[in-house]
Amino acid sequence: MSRPQAGIHPPTAADGEPPAAFWRDPSLPFIESRRACRSRACYVPHRHPTFSIGAVDEGRSLFTGAPGGPIGLTAGTLVFVPAERVHACNPVPDTAWSYQMLHLDAAWLRHAREEHAPARSRAAEPVRISTDRALYRRFSQLNALLFSGAGPHDKEAALIEFMGDIDTGSGVHIEPQAVPPGTHKRIRPVLERLRDAPDTNASLSELAALARMSRYQLIRTFRTATGMTPHAWQLNQRVNLARERIRKGAAIAEVALQLGFADQAHFQRVFKAHTGVTPGRFRA
């Protein structure tokens, strides 16, 4: 199987949505970037296994994931989202927006941070929203460098310097909601079941029995711990696995079958609802 080539991958807009451009490089597997122009695609609330940085280039959007309700974002705003935080950024209804999105491998970022701030705890890192125009311009310059023909060493150096500088930055901090003690332990059997068998559709009754709860109790407890219902969490997990397998070159039909989707049409709908693009456009 051939390895993907580094660089920009601008797929066609076969589904009517303006094209998005993706950048990936096999020599820098811990980072992925994308640009979207005049997009109207909307996301369901979702989580990433990566640390994500979003930038609003044009238009207005709404950030969902704050306890107090959606937060309006305007051009020049940056949003820093820690791994596993449930969120969504969508254009204001009946409008389009342009944005950039950077995804960093959580383990790589943790090691990079430990080099300059080894004693700092990030067990409950907040989402951060910044309207600092200078910071937005610097992020845009970093992303332009990633999309350019510069060498991987220059790109990695710029990324490390940027992340080190922004770690002490200001902005609106959105702390994660407090979870009662013991909540994660109560749903651990359910999470293990969903992680171990992503291709099977466990019923709510089966999952509730694993947690020794009623179905109502399971839904409430699971949502408190993860921000999602068990079914939504499993679909999100499947999409995250699908992204990883598609990046490695797996066939889309094969991925859909392996992850338990009813058919390719179902896979396409779910994938686009979580990523804003179809699997084919993501593969580029």
- Predicted pLDDT at 123: 59
- Predicted pLDDT at 5: 42
- Predicted pLDDT at 134: 95
- Paired residues of 127 in beta bridges: 174
What CATH number belongs to 7-174? 2.60.120.280
- Predicted pLDDT at 121: 53
The answer to whether the 7-174 and 183-283 domains have the same CATH topology is no
Q: How far apart are CA 223 and CA 228, in angstroms?
A: 5
- Domain assignments of the chain as residue spans, ordered by start: 7-174, 183-283
The pTM score is: 0.88
Residue ranges of the chain whose pLDDT lies below 50: 1-15
- Predicted pLDDT at 143: 97
- Predicted pLDDT at 169: 65
- Predicted pLDDT at 103: 98
Diameter of the chain measured on Cα atoms: 56
Superfamily classification of domain 183-283? Homeodomain-like (1.10.10.60)
- Long-range contacts, stretch 113-120, CB < 8 angstroms, 24+ apart: 113/163, 113/164, 113/167, 116/164, 116/167, 117/167
- Predicted pLDDT at 170: 72
Q: How far apart are CA 283 and CA 267, in angstroms?
A: 14
